Chain A
Amino acid sequence: MSGLRDRLNRLRGTPEPAAPRNEPPAPVQSERPALPQGFGAIGVGLEENEAGPFLLRRIAYPLPYRHGKHELGELLARAGSLLPIAERQNGSSGPIDPYRLLFLDTETTGLGVGTGNVPFMVGFGYYAGNAFIVEQALIRHPGEERAMLTYLLDRMKDKTHIVSYNGRTFDWPVLANRFILNGWRKSGQSPGHLDFLHPSRALWRKTLPSCRLGTVEEARLGVRREDDVPGSLAPTLYFQFLSDGNPEHLHGVYAHNEKDILTLASLAVHFGRLLDGEGDEEAILESEELFRTAAWLEQHGLTEVAERLFERLAEREEAGEAGWSLPLAARYKKAGRFERALPLWRKFAETAEGAAAPAVEAHIELAMHYEHRDKQLLTALTYAERALELAVRRGILARDKVKRDAERAALQHRIARLRDKVSRERK
């Protein structure tokens, strides 16, 4: 059996995957002429093409390799499910083939997308055979840029999408600048994007301290990094390397960039699972995140999965207090499912009664509901009157005077109308 695998691998041109134990594989040793010891030690070799030399490091991860809680190989089966993200980000998209994705992360000399910001390391990952390959191209000085870009373009040839974290607004525009500065002009179609910053924000903006990749991977993907060099230090380390030529300054940058690329693949698995309706919903402890996940799934056309999550949310104890209960109720109202909306509003209204700065939206919704749909005018009037009282109580704290006055005027108007209706009914 293993003989067959060996043969297949040789035919496919992929290196022998390491043992199935989850230990990072060693980089593929270069056979090119020797570089300073500090480069050789981490498997960096010299690469050359028609535009000149640059440095390349190459690591092949066997597919069972787990980065955090996900196996890299799982994406082979799930990539297709990422299509809704691709469609949302690119307008339209062809099907997603895992072998045609390029996972990309650059390390640059500065911030922003100006013409003076140079990507000195371009790291990318892709699936080949039964391995996930990470390649890291580095320029020893800006003169090697053209060779590195040539190599990158060659690697991009058969790829349909770039998978990144903020690559749509940062990494890719920075690279596009470099292409133009090297005299190349855009030809053919630009690659599509699968930029995971946007979905990450949609899900975790409220529940994680930040949406930086490091925070997200640790909190949600179970990835632990030890002795990680923060990305923000990369430029300084590169400048040190430029000034004294010691490759050891860059070891941390190599490791950091490599992990970022693995995390991209792991994140892809994570989103793939969610979109397949196989996300680990039990693990989502915070209702806010559950609500956001459901809303996100709904946005991506996965109505049924979303519906399931919404239902679970509505049943939760803390419904009525949290920020999501009003939008959720509004959703049910729109769908005409008042049996779902009403308890949410009631709970919310109950909570508001005891709050220091009460929100009156639920009271107003209830007043509207009882006036127009349930025709219980007295109940409607009670809610409207309570709403006005609460609005006055909150008034002292309210900042926006114009909005506050408008809200009160509308309530007074509603109360007058309801009183009028009630008295007419009595007659």
Chain B
Amino acid sequence: MNPYTQKAESVDEWLELLRSKRELMDNVTFWHTEPAKPARTAELPFTVHPKLAGALGSKGITQLYTHQAASFREVSAGRHVVTVTPTASGKTLCYNLPVVQRLLEDDSARALYLFPTKALAQDQVAELQELANLMEADIKTHTYDGDTPPTVRQAIRNAGHIVVTNPDMLHSAILPHHTKWVKLFENIKYIVIDELHAYRGVFGSHVANVIRRLKRICRFYGSDPQFLCASATIRNPREHAERLIGETVSLVDDNGAPTGEKHMVFYNPPVVNKQLGIRRSSVLESQKLAALLLKSGIQTIVFARSRVRVEILLTYLQETVKHELGSKTIRGYRGGYLPKLRREIERGLRSGEIRGVVSTNALELGIDIGQLQACVLNGYPGTIASTWQQSGRAGRRQTSSVTFLVASSNPLDQYLIQNPDYFLGRPPEEARIHPDNLLILLDHLKCAAYELPFEEGDTFGGEKLTDLLEFLSEEKVLHKVGTRWYWMEQAFPAHNISLRSAAQENFVIIDQTEGHRVIGEVDRFSAPTLIHEEAIYLHEGVQYQVEKLDYPEKKAYVREVNVDYFTDASMAVELKVLHVDLEATTGALHRHFGEVTVMAKPTIFKKIRLRTHENIGSGPIHLPEEILHTSGYWFSFSEEESAKRSANDMQMALLGLANVLIHLAPLHLMCDPLDIRVVPQVKATHTKQPTIYFYDRYPGGIGLSQRLYEKHGELLEEAERLIRGCGCLSGCPACVGPIEEVGLLGKELAMSLLQGMKA
């Protein structure tokens, strides 16, 4: 440690300092060190084009890492490939090498690259252009997205060798106008899909259908492209790739890139009230660790789970280190920042000018921000895969890096921090998609029919196609003549179908402090709770109060304020069962799976004081109800079981159990915790019995509730284990919930309910 600047020479030196701090080390519950790994390489295959070999040589690449060589081999053999590698392991070369090789051999060949976001696409174009320049080869790479000026679009359609775009653009602009892309589709040899793991859940289910459409059009133009996919570490990369593209895929996962030593430190904030089981705020503890790193000159990324948390952490951090570093060197990064601002932050991080960044999982994807030295996770990111992804942002090839996992008081975080083996010993999650969700499938079937007529005997996904086409004919969307179904409607179907549940309907945030200035955007689902009137909206650490929310126009007008609180909104949820598909009874318990309608309405918001987090006021929210038809799983308790306790006790027991289950469910489903919701009801409208409902937060459902119905027993056992294992006296945020919520007997009541149902 430099005694004058207080800067650490390296992460290793800083870790020494940490070890000497008792007050911090007491909270470290687990310290895992992954040793440095040397590189494993293979010779550049002799088949590589001399120009390409030369260009790589001039970039200092004379050998390939083993995974790069393996994927080149697989692609050359004509197979579809998925490459699985961690961050910063030379992943792009896995697909660029075979693609560029082919383009050098055959100028008429074409390739299509898909990235989940525009930002990633732009990084890629820069890299390919650099390579083309080094080779002095005429390989034209272009992005084609919403930002592409109309004047150059035609040139790209006719002459671009590599077209880099995103699934949304493919869905709404390229496929419905495929006749303008004859050159591309007649000559397409490769389709590159990077960040494959990002295509999961609803979004992934949509994308799988877009790919079905893409393949259909390729077939029409007589081409049969190879898919080259790349994914971050997930448990089922091959299966996921195969489901997504509908082909047999070979897997390359032998990562040969070197890594420096990696430290993974589990940090549990100290208990401040043993009886209530209350720990110190994970936000404050994350801030403390991050500030310590930043002050020592270590470039650090902090991940927080919500946008609000990002802004709060940013405000705290900028304040803490403003004397040492100046507030411009610590930045926020999240969805809702405008692209220009994001590019500026990415550049600052790469150049090292920006020393710290607080981000949502928006930076989890492979956006190029260089490699940082340290990472602080404020709360468990929700999945093992995400944790590794985020932690991968810190870690250079030669030097050491450190990641802190700062546990929050929610049950899942506490479960993990006390069971580190669960985290380290378990493979990361599976990526699941459900492309045959009837609503999603039908939407894309319409788009596909718009693009090309269907012929009897065609296939599209798993459902029986003829039935669906007949249905659409009855709806007068298609018109059948002989053996063919033709699109016969005035509408342009892709316009009404968004791949990302909220992308199309963002609310714009307009700052009217001085003139009118758009400062950001919020998706439709977050709007009721984030930008209701009187809400405090945080943007780049600055507080704004929402003065007017124009709901039909999707605009929120805000003004800069300076207050010492933030706001937190609650939703009232009502639930109706439409149809029961499956049911079973075990002991005192009935469980069901079926269709439900959920009506959600924001009710009130609370004002919470900064730092102390005490409640200092509240107000009503007047917004229309959101209605969702989806699939649900629910279980209810028999008359005898409910007769054993008072209605109030039953309420507490249900609430406690629901709190535990909702945290465990995403673990079993390996899904984003926001995708599945829970509602306990002491006297349910449908069953008239005490019931706990789960539902998929997507119209039509995406298979989550159904899996919960199947894994029912396992889930309850896990819940029992968690409650039993919790060190608290009578309930805490880490198990059934704080006693303010579930009462003094909450833990006991939940436990007895669990045991009662086994009887």
> Which residues on B sit within 8 Å (CB–CB) of A118?
486-488
| Cβ contact within 8 Å between B179 and A110 | no
Assess whether A176 is interfacial by the CB under 8 Å rule. yes
| Cβ contact within 8 Å between A110 and B491 | yes
Complex alpha-carbon distance, A116 and B451, angstroms: 6
Given A114-B492, A116-B450, A116-B451, the answer on whether A243 and B476 have CB atoms closer than 8 Å is: yes
Interface size on A, residues (CB 8 A): 22
**CB interface residues, B 440-489, toward A, < 8 Å:** 449-453, 476, 479, 481-482, 484, 486-489
Select one of A141, A177, A236, A243 contacting B179, CB under 8 A: A177
Complex alpha-carbon distance, A114 and B177, angstroms: 5
Smallest CB-CB separation from A238: which chain B residue? B488
| Cβ contact within 8 Å between B179 and A115 | yes
| Cβ contact within 8 Å between B490 and A111 | yes
A-B interface contact total, Cβ < 8 Å: 61
> Which residues on B sit within 8 Å (CB–CB) of A355?
none
Select one of B182, B482, B491 contacting A180, CB under 8 A: B182
Smallest CB-CB separation from A120: which chain B residue? B488
Smallest CB-CB separation from A179: which chain B residue? B179
Select one of B452, B488, B492 contacting A181, CB under 8 A: B452
Given A115-B452, A142-B453, the answer on whether A176 and B179 have CB atoms closer than 8 Å is: yes
| Cβ contact within 8 Å between B486 and A142 | yes
| Cβ contact within 8 Å between B179 and A112 | no
> Which residues on A sit within 8 Å (CB–CB) of B491?
110
> Which residues on A sit within 8 Å (CB–CB) of B476?
239, 243
Smallest CB-CB separation from A181: which chain B residue? B179
Select one of B177, B182, B453, B489 contacting A109, CB under 8 A: B489
Assess whether B176 is interfacial by the CB under 8 Å rule. yes
Assess whether A185 is interfacial by the CB under 8 Å rule. yes
> Which residues on B sit within 8 Å (CB–CB) of A115?
176-179, 450-452
CB distance from A127 to the nearest CB of B (A): 32
Complex alpha-carbon distance, A372 and B176, angstroms: 60
CB distance from A51 to the nearest CB of B (A): 14
CB distance from A225 to the nearest CB of B (A): 23
Select one of B451, B481, B492, B493 contacting A111, CB under 8 A: B492
Smallest CB-CB separation from B177: which chain A residue? A114
> Which residues on B sit within 8 Å (CB–CB) of A180?
179, 182
Select one of B182, B449, B481 contacting A143, CB under 8 A: B481
Complex alpha-carbon distance, A142 and B450, angstroms: 13
| Cβ contact within 8 Å between A114 and B490 | no
**CB interface residues, A 173-197, toward B, < 8 Å:** 176-177, 180-181, 185
Smallest CB-CB separation from A143: which chain B residue? B481
Complex alpha-carbon distance, A111 and B490, angstroms: 7
Complex alpha-carbon distance, A239 and B177, angstroms: 23
Assess whether A42 is interfacial by the CB under 8 Å rule. no
| Cβ contact within 8 Å between B492 and A110 | yes
Per-residue A-contact encoding for B177-189, CB less than 8 Å = 1, 0 else: 1110010000000
> Which residues on A sit within 8 Å (CB–CB) of B481?
141-143
**CB interface residues, A 88-136, toward B, < 8 Å:** 109-116, 118
Complex alpha-carbon distance, A180 and B179, angstroms: 6
Assess whether A242 is interfacial by the CB under 8 Å rule. yes
> Which residues on B sit within 8 Å (CB–CB) of A114?
176-177, 450, 492
| Cβ contact within 8 Å between A112 and B182 | no
**CB interface residues, A 223-264, toward B, < 8 Å:** 235-236, 239, 242-243
> Which residues on A sit within 8 Å (CB–CB) of B178?
115
Complex alpha-carbon distance, A112 and B493, angstroms: 12
| Cβ contact within 8 Å between B490 and A109 | yes
Smallest CB-CB separation from B482: which chain A residue? A143
Complex alpha-carbon distance, A260 and B123, angstroms: 51
Per-residue B-contact encoding for A52-91, CB less than 8 Å = 1, 0 else: 0000000000000000000000000000000000000000
Q: Most B CB atoms within 10 A — which of A109, A142, A181, A243?
A: A142
Smallest CB-CB separation from A108: which chain B residue? B490
Smallest CB-CB separation from B451: which chain A residue? A115
| Cβ contact within 8 Å between B488 and A239 | yes
CB distance from B495 to the nearest CB of A (A): 9
Per-residue A-contact encoding for B483-509, CB less than 8 Å = 1, 0 else: 010111111110000000000000000
Complex alpha-carbon distance, A275 and B179, angstroms: 37
Smallest CB-CB separation from B450: which chain A residue? A116
Complex alpha-carbon distance, A185 and B221, angstroms: 11
| Cβ contact within 8 Å between B182 and A185 | yes
| Cβ contact within 8 Å between A116 and B492 | yes
Complex alpha-carbon distance, A114 and B179, angstroms: 9
Smallest CB-CB separation from A180: which chain B residue? B179
CB distance from B450 to the nearest CB of A (A): 3
> Which residues on A sit within 8 Å (CB–CB) of B484?
142-143
CB distance from A224 to the nearest CB of B (A): 29
**CB interface residues, A 130-189, toward B, < 8 Å:** 141-143, 176-177, 180-181, 185
| Cβ contact within 8 Å between B489 and A110 | yes
User: What are 24 A-B contacts with C-beta separation under 8 Å?
Assistant: A109-B488, A110-B492, A111-B490, A115-B177, A115-B178, A115-B450, A115-B452, A116-B176, A116-B449, A116-B493, A141-B481, A141-B486, A142-B453, A142-B486, A143-B481, A143-B482, A143-B484, A143-B486, A180-B179, A181-B179, A181-B452, A239-B489, A242-B479, A242-B488
Residues of B within 8 A of A (CB): 176-179, 182, 449-453, 476, 479, 481-482, 484, 486-493
In the complex, besides A115-B179, A143-B482, 10 extra interface pairs with C-beta distance below 8 angstroms are A110-B489, A114-B177, A115-B451, A116-B451, A142-B481, A142-B484, A142-B486, A180-B182, A181-B179, A236-B490
